[in-house]
Amino acid sequence: MFKKLIEESTGKSPWLFHINAGSCNGCDIELVAVLTPRYDAERLGFKLAGSPRQADIVVVTGPITAQSLPRVLRTIEQVPEPRCIVTMGSCPQSGNVFRGSYSICGPLSKYVHVDVDVAGCTPKPEAVIDGLALATKILQQKRREMK
Amino acid sequence: MSFLSYQHFPIFTIMLYFLGAFLIVVFGKAKALRHAVAFLCTAGPLALLISLIGRVMVHGEIISYWMGNRTPVGDYAIGIALEVDALSLFFGLLVATAVFVACLYSFRYMERDHNVPQYYTLYLMLAGGVMGLVLSGDLFNMFIMVEILTFAAVALTAFRNKVTGALEAAFKYLVVGSIGSTCILAGTIILYAQARTLNLAQLAAVIPGNFGVSTKLAFALLFIGFCTKAFIVPFHPLAADAHGAAPASVSVLISGVLTKSGIYGIIRLVFFLFQTMNLGTMQFWLVFLGSVSMFVCVTMALAQHDFKRLLAFHSISQIGYVLTAVGLATGLGISAGLYHAMNHTLFKGLLFLAAGAVLHETGTTDLGKLGGLAKKMPHTAALFLIGAASISGIPPFNGFASKWLIYQATYQKAAETGNIGFALVTVIALVTSTLTLASFVKVTQSVFFGQMPEECKNAKEVPFGMRFAMGILALLCILTGLFPGLVTRYLTEPAAKAAFAAGNYINAMMGQGYAERIMGAAAPGAPAVSFASSGVWSPLSWLLLLMIALLAICVVALSGKYDKVSVRSSKEVEKKYQLFYGGETQSFSQVGGGDLFWGFKHNWRHYFSFMHDLHSGIVNDYSLWAVVALALAIVYALIVL
Amino acid sequence: MLLVLNALKYLAYILIFPGFLFSFLVGMLLTGIDRKIVARMQKRVGPPILQPFYDFFKLLGKETIVPDAANRRVFLLAPLVGLAGITVLQLFIPVFHFHVFDNVADVIVILYLLLIPALAEILGAAASGSPYAGVGLSREMVTILAVELPLLLVLLAVAKTVGSAMGRGLVFSLSTIVGYQELHGSLITKLSMIPAAVAFLLIIPGETGSHPFDTAEAETEICEGMMAEYSGAPLGVYKLTHAMKIFTVVSLFVALFLGGIGAGIQNLVAAIGLSGAFAGALSLLLQILVLVLLSIVLTIVCISFVHAITARLRIEQVFKYYWTIVTCFALVSLVMAWYGL
Amino acid sequence: MITLNYIASFFLIVLGLYCIVVKYDLVKTVIGLSVMDYGVNLLIITIGYHPGGTAPIFTAGEINPASVFVDPIPQALTLTSIVIGACVTAMSLSLVIKLREMYGTLDTREIRRLRG
């Protein structure tokens, strides 16, 4: 009976979990900037969750180093359905300046399905918010498809 | 007087235990026979005492029984007497229940030990000793019974002499316990020198009002003697050692029964023999001792890392509640104290049996080595949780009912006397209760929940016999919590009234009119005792509400219209169902008992380290405490009484 | 027939007002307002006021993962027990003149019933087997210990004040305390009760686990602490319980210290010249409205403002703070009440 | 004469307590217990003593606390008490033997695994 309400709510309350897969911290700072007074993503319901169990959207930054790969995959696996995976910055998809290094296992899309890719080094907060909003739409879609 | 008349029941009760002890020595080699004898000799006394409830509790009859029918001659008691009033019967019922249940438990629990017949002999001796103590009407017999029970308890403590600390605990207990027994003997004999009688009733008529120096000395000696048996504060390390080392079924007896015998002795002493409870200082000292016991022991318990030792410290903490409530000397106070004494026997018995079950399956009670047992032993865990909720005073279990009465009683006393000190006692009692909760959260987390270490993988549920015994106690915990009105009406209030009716006690024993004749106008009859409390609590309706609410919520939750996503769990190791470790693979990591409550312990670190140093484990120190306590008691008695 | 009607009536009490539905709505509203106010104080736009509802319903639609290491039954049942506990507790707290039960529980019982949601959470956390949850439950227990002492002193002071004013020694029954205030004005107007009220206001954020005292659920250091392994509907139930607990604690404050307002409302309705069933309904409605408004004000003052201007304390600081400063306030009040000031 | 008995019994009890508290040797602790016990026994027997009393043989009609014979009850009590004292000694010595086997020492300062 709450089906409609739940679908509606899924689009309005996406909680983020942020994974740093060897990032230079540029994207990480920028993700935090998204939540600051100037851009305030919380008005769209975004919130940083402390544990992957509570997250809807996983934000991955960094070029997926060999050390981080199994951890990233395990953490993504531990996020309950419906979930969205957003890569932030150029690194997770292309490797950026780290490309070709012996210790880089990227891109992430080799291992899991990536829903949204926000490119840029680093992407502007506006772009990040746009990407996250897109992910929210996908999330809502996934919820709708779950039976 | 026919042979099967109810007047014989008290002596049968005591004799059945000793008879059982004897029969097991003779026929104990055969297991079935041994168990049959033990069962009959523990169930029999319980049945006999239950059959007396109607007469003694409801109709207020006092059963006096003279051995060999040697009734007093010319106002002079020469025979040995048993006297059962509501107070004695109340404690007798506690003893019989605990003994019976722990006996059922030990059938399976003691299977793997050597020398099991000796165990049952000692066990029944201990039971008989305590029963004799509470039913006796004779001071010297009380001493004999104290010696018997101390002996049996010492021997049982050392029974598993391969266990670390068992011998040590037994020796310390023997030394300090003997000091206590000697105090009781010396006090008894000094009283005899004054009154030329050993009969409790006659002493109670003669002693009050004529205090000489020797009488006061006797009071101090007897008081300290019974404090040793109740393990009140300067004697608490012994209890901790003894409970920790003894087999669980014996710990039930030591904590649930032996301490009660001490409390019983104190009540008899201050309410009957010397009738000093109307003195403000006496009330102050009892309440003070009780409050110190409950607070010191609960903090000691928080610092423990052994399951049984932790429970042992909690025993003394709960005895502190009982003593505090009894020391208020109000109807509500004594009723609350006795209620709590009963509840303590039930829930502490349950907890010790649960600890025994854990020991039985895993071979250890170290909180740091256990964890996650709720998966392997679900029934034990559930029963333990009932016990833990009871002792922490979570409504609607029985611990809450009695603690709630104790809070009311202390605060009411404070309001009546205008003494803010009693309000402080209420505060200490409530804080102690929360600390108790904290330490049981610690046990729950580090034994039954959390992660399971490799060593515990082989644990399985304990045999039905053991669970059945625990189940009886758990059921009693719930019932006495749900029907506090019935318990107070039929058990604790008659007993509390009896505590005030020393005149009736004397007359029942020595013949009508004796108390008035000897004590003159001062004879305390049966005063009107008020049990009114200023609060309201009806557990049944609360529980009903909770059940309905829970049911409604569960129905909504399970109807599942909104939630098509099923709860899945897979047997094979899958990443998804591993615990979140910041991305690492799941590995064993348990937040152990010692790591919990850092925020609290850090603030109290000086206190904790002081207490740790104080409990040095050297028997000389503990004896010194006993001697100092004795000296203080003597000084108090000589100056104030 | 009467029995059925009565049963229906009580069911309505439990499920609709003042039980589940009412406190659900108000609690969620309070949480939403809290988030909005904090955002505004930080010069942000902030989430919509209905955000907690969205969060709750979204969580209902998520998958629930039960870790293999967890004790399944306890893990799933604990949130429901906590929710049921807080729902029932809500029934015992009078809404000014209106109270469902007269003689079921007194303030000491309520002190203990307030523990039940926290305990359920602790059990659930312990059952999840996560070490983060272990740390979280340890901190939660210390917070309970910290808050319990001043809260208890406040309750004892109130019991003594009302008791000696009524000439009965002590009064523990909450409905009597409210009834006394209706006749003699709110307790907060008494000099001796002002420190107690201050202490209670300081207790509110600790009891509800909101910001400077939310060490038990520190999301950045211990991954949400006790809720590290919870996902989906059980997590939603926990969030709901938290929201309801805010309302419960705040309305307990109103009942203890501002109970006199109820009489004012009744007088107002009587002054307009209404009587009969309609007047009763109107006055109840007004009382509910006033309670909700007061709750909002108290939430903003005690929770949102404090949240916006403080950083999270360490757990031993939480303990120290409550056992020194707040306890002092409560103790002053108790002593003053004792000597009849 | 009788006063001396009282003083002696008091002295014995205090001596026993002193021995228990001060001596760090298990055997000496046991000796202290026994000495204390003897002190109490002496006290009991002294209380029952009547100077110049005869043997306590009487019939029911003659009972009177002021009778000129030695009070029999304390003697019975002493007997019991002596038995109990012997039991305490036996029991504690057997524990001492076991303790010595397990800990390899008789020093109470080293027999303190249970503490804190």
Among partner residues D63, D65, D96, which is closest to B73 by beta-carbon distance?
D63
Q: B583: nearest CA in chain A?
A: A71
| Number of structural domains in chain D | 1
Query: Which residues from B are below 8 Å from C126, CB to CB?
Result: 441, 444-445, 448-450
The answer to whether the bond into A37 is cis (omega within 30° of 0) is no
- What tokens appear for D44 in the block? 């009991």
Q: Does B512 touch chain D (CB under 8 A)?
A: no
Q: How far is A38 from chain B (nearest CA, A)?
A: 30
Give the bridge partners for C96, in sequence order.
none
- What is the SS3 assignment for B622? helix
Q: Which structural domain, as residue segments, surrounds residue D36? A: 2-53+69-103
Looking at residue B564, what is its pLDDT?
A: 45
Q: Is C142 left (phi over 0), alpha (psi -120 to 50) or beta?
A: alpha
DSSP letters, B111-142, are: TTSS-HHHHHHHHHHHHHHHHHHHHB-BHHHH
Q: A77: nearest CA in chain C?
A: C65
Which has the minimum average pLDDT: B238-242, C80-84, C104-108? C104-108
Helix (H) or strand (E) holding D80: helix D72-103
Q: B551: nearest CA in chain C?
A: C84
Among partner residues B565, B574, B582, which is closest to A146 by beta-carbon distance?
B565
* CB burial readout B17-42, b (16+ within 10 A) else e: bbbbbbbbeeebeeeeebbebbeebb
Identify whether A138 is part of a domain. yes
Q: Do D113 and B620 touch (CB under 8 A)?
A: no
Identify whether D99 is part of a domain. yes
DSSP letters, B466-532, are: HHHHHHHHHHHHHHHHH-HHHHIIIIIHHHHHHHH-HHHHHHHHH-TTHHHHHHGGG----------
- pLDDT, average across residues B66-71: 78
Q: What ipTM was assigned to the predicted interfaces of this complex?
A: 0.85
Task: Provide the CATH number for the domain around residue D47.
Answer: 1.10.287.3510
Measuring CA to CA, which residue among A9, A112, A92 is closest to residue A56? Answer: A9
Looking at residue D35, what is its pLDDT?
A: 92
Task: Provide the CATH number for the domain around residue A84.
Answer: 3.40.50.12280
Q: Does B179 touch chain D (CB under 8 A)?
A: yes
pLDDT digit string, tens, across residues C30-50: 888 888 888 888 888 888 888
Q: Are A57 and A80 in contact (CB under 8 A)?
A: no
Looking at residue B566, what is its pLDDT?
A: 47
Q: Does B492 touch chain C (CB under 8 A)?
A: no
Q: How far is C128 from chain A (nearest CA, A)?
A: 12
Q: Does A58 touch chain B (CB under 8 A)?
A: no
Q: Does B590 touch chain C (CB under 8 A)?
A: yes
Best residue in C40, C58, C231, C235 to probe A by mutation, most A CBs within 10 Å?
A: C58
| Number of structural domains in chain A | 1
Higher model confidence: residue A126 or residue B3?
A126
Identify whether D113 is part of a domain. no
Which has the minimum average pLDDT: A18-22, A98-102, B346-350, B551-555? B551-555
pLDDT digit string, tens, across residues B438-479: 888 888 888 888 777 777 777 788 888 888 888 888 998 888
pLDDT digit string, tens, across residues A78-113: 888 788 899 888 888 888 888 888 888 878 888 888
Q: Which residues have CB under 8 Å from C32's CB, separation 6+?
A: C47, C48, C49, C50, C51, C52, C53
Mean pLDDT, chain B, rounded, equals 83
Question: What's the rounded Cα separation, in Å, for the pair C104 and B205?
Answer: 45
- What is the SS3 assignment for C183? helix
Query: Which residues from B are below 8 Å from A3, CB to CB?
Result: 561-562
Query: Which residues from B are below 8 Å from A52, CB to CB?
Result: 580
Q: Are B264 and B222 in contact (CB under 8 A)?
A: no
Question: What's the rounded Cα separation, in Å, for the pair C183 and A43?
Answer: 46
Q: Does B147 touch chain D (CB under 8 A)?
A: yes
- What tokens appear for B314 in the block? 């909690």
Identify whether A58 is part of a domain. yes
Residues in chain C: 341
Query: Which residues from B are below 8 Å from C172, CB to CB?
Result: 408, 534-536
Q: Is the pLDDT of residue B234 over 50?
A: yes
Q: Domains of chain B: which residue ranges?
A: 8-521+596-640
Between positions 307 and 336 of B, the ones with CB within 8 A of D are 309
Answer positive or negative: Cα dihedral of C122, C126, C128, C133.
positive
> B205: how many CB neighbours lie within 10 A of its CB?
28
pLDDT digit string, tens, across residues C193-204: 888 888 998 888
Best residue in A15, A34, A54 to probe C by mutation, most C CBs within 10 Å?
A: A54
Q: Does B575 touch chain A (CB under 8 A)?
A: yes
Q: Which chains have at least 3 CB atom pairs separated by less than 8 Å from chain A?
A: B, C
Q: Are C206 and C140 in contact (CB under 8 A)?
A: no
Identify whether D114 is part of a domain. no
Q: Domains of chain C: which residue ranges?
A: 2-338
- pLDDT, average across residues B197-223: 83
Q: Which structural domain, as residue segments, surrounds residue A94? A: 12-145
Looking at residue B528, what is its pLDDT?
A: 65
- Kindly indicate the confidence band of residue D61, based on its pLDDT and cuts at 50, 70 and 90: low
Q: Does C81 touch chain B (CB under 8 A)?
A: yes
Percent of chain B with pLDDT over 70: 94
Looking at residue B565, what is its pLDDT?
A: 46
Question: What's the rounded Cα separation, in Å, for the pair C219 and A48?
Answer: 9
Among partner residues B444, B586, B599, which is closest to C316 by beta-carbon distance?
B599
- pLDDT, average across residues D74-99: 88
Q: Is the pLDDT of residue B98 over 60?
A: yes
Q: Is the pLDDT of residue B99 over 70?
A: yes
Best residue in A2, A68, A78 to probe B by mutation, most B CBs within 10 Å?
A: A78
Q: Which residues have CB under 8 Å from B30's CB, separation 6+?
A: none
Question: What's the rounded Cα separation, in Å, for the pair C316 and C305?
Answer: 23
Q: Do D63 and B303 touch (CB under 8 A)?
A: no
Q: Is the pLDDT of residue C103 over 70?
A: no
- pLDDT, average across residues B197-217: 82
Q: Does A112 touch chain B (CB under 8 A)?
A: no
Q: How far is D16 from chain B (nearest CA, A)?
A: 10
Q: Do D114 and B198 touch (CB under 8 A)?
A: no
Identify whether D90 is part of a domain. yes
Q: D22: nearest CA in chain B?
A: B620
- Kindly indicate the confidence band of residue D15, based on its pLDDT and cuts at 50, 70 and 90: very high
> B71: how many CB neighbours lie within 10 A of its CB?
14
- What is the SS3 assignment for C69? coil
- Kindly indicate the confidence band of residue A40, based on its pLDDT and cuts at 50, 70 and 90: confident
